[in-house]
Amino acid sequence: MAISIFRPSVSLPQHFLYSINPQKFSSISVIRKKQSSLHCVASDSAPPPTRQEMSLSVGMYLIPHPNKVEKGGEDAFFVSSDNGEVIVVADGVSGWAEKNVDPALFSRELVANVSSLVGNVEVNDDPRILIKGAHAATSSIGSATVIVSVFKNGILKIASVGDCGLRVIRKGQMIFSTFPLEHYFDCPYQLSSEAVTQTYLDAIVSTVNLQVGDTIIMGSDGLFDNIFDQEIVSVVTTNDDVSNAAKALADLARNHSVDTKFDSPFSLEARARGFDVPWWKKVFGMKFTGGKLDDITVIVGKVKTT
C-alpha cells in the first residue's frame, strides 16, 4: 500500500487480528436469509408475489508483497453472510514499518472488529457505521485504508476511506466504480491510531441496485494500481467461475507489478502528478513506467438467484 503516513499538525498515538491466510481460496456461496413477513389476503384474491431471492457466489485470492510473504502481507479481508452480505478489505499503511510497527496489526484488528459487529442491530446494514464501530474498537498502533460493502435485498451499500476499491460489471460493461480519496499522491485517506485522523465521517458512501448476473470486484490498491478497468472487464467476462476470476485478476496484477516497462495505472497517475524520470532521460524519450509492488487482494462476487 502507499508508503506515506498522513500526519496532521497534532498527533497522539494510541495503542493491537484477524487475518485470512493467503493465498488461495475456493469459492463460497452465500445465501441471504429470508425476511419473515405476514400477509393478510382476502379468500378470493391471489397471493402476493414473492420477492426474488438472491445469493452471492464469492471467490477470493491474495498475493502478498514479495518481501512480505512470510507474514502473509499487510492486507486483511472478511466475507460474511449474517444479516446481508458484508465484505471488507483493509490495507495496512506500510510506512509504519519505519517506526518498528507491524502495519498488518492495525488492518487485521480493524477487519476483525468489523466482523464482530456484523448482525448488530445498531449497525442497521450501514457500512459507514461498521467502519465507525470497528475503528473505535481498534487499539493497535498504525493506520489502514478500508472499504466495506453490505449487500441486502438487491442493494449494495458501500463506504470507503482511502484507495481500496470496488467495481460493478453488468453485461460486459462497468457500471460503477469507486474512486480513491487522498491527501496527496501515494498518501490516501486512512483510519489511524493517531488522535487526529480520518474517521467514518470522511468515507465516501455509495448505493448500487444490483441485478442477477452482476459481478462485483473488491480489492486493495495493489489490484487497481496495476490493472486497468478494461482489463478487469475482460478477465471477469471470460471467467464464469468467481474463484478463477479472482485468481486471474490477482495473477495479472502481480505480473504487471513486476513489469518495469508496463505503463500501469500507477505510473500514469505518477506522471500526471509530476513524478517522472529526470529531464535528461526525457531527452532520450524515456519516461517513468512500471507497475507497483504491493499486496494484492481480490474478491469477486456474482449475484445469482437462490
pLDDT digits (tens, 9 = 90+) for 255-293: 999 999 999 999 999 999 898 878 788 888 888 899 999
* Residues facing residue 205 across a β-bridge: 159
Q: Does residue 156 register a pLDDT over 70? A: yes
Q: Letter for the amino acid at 11? A: S
pTM for the structure as a whole = 0.84
- Quote the pLDDT of residue 196: 81
CA distance 150 to 155: 8
pLDDT digits (tens, 9 = 90+) for 209-252: 999 999 999 999 999 999 999 999 999 999 999 999 999 999 99
- Quote the pLDDT of residue 43: 41
**Separation of CA 161 from chain center:** 10
Least confident residue range of 48-52, 149-153, 284-288: 48-52
Least confident residue range of 32-36, 203-207, 268-272: 32-36
Q: Does residue 17 register a pLDDT over 90? A: no
Q: CB under 8 Å to 253, separation ≥6 — which residues?
A: 63, 222, 223, 226, 227, 291, 296, 298
- Quote the pLDDT of residue 172: 97
Work out the percent of the chain whose per-residue pLDDT is above 90.
70
In the chain, helix, strand, coil percent, each to 5? 25, 30, 45
Average pLDDT, integer, range 126-142: 97
pLDDT band with cut points at 50, 70 and 90 for residue 56: confident
Q: Does residue 140 register a pLDDT over 90? A: yes
3 state DSSP class of 136 = helix
Q: Bigger pLDDT: 126 or 35?
A: 126
CA distance 145 to 181: 10
- Quote the pLDDT of residue 243: 96
pLDDT band with cut points at 50, 70 and 90 for residue 195: confident
3 state DSSP class of 94 = helix
Q: Does residue 83 register a pLDDT over 50? A: no
Average pLDDT, integer, range 104-130: 95
- Supply 205's cell numbers: 458512501
Task: Answer whether 72's CB lies under 8 Å from 101's CB.
Answer: no
Q: Does residue 116 register a pLDDT over 50? A: yes
- Supply 230's cell numbers: 478494461
The sign of the CA dihedral 34, 39, 45, 48 is negative
Task: Answer whether 193's CB lies under 8 Å from 15's CB.
Answer: yes
How many Cα atoms occupy the beta-carbon half-sphere of 137 within 13 Å? Answer: 17
Q: Does residue 191 register a pLDDT over 60? A: yes
Average pLDDT, integer, range 169-193: 96
CA distance 240 to 304: 12
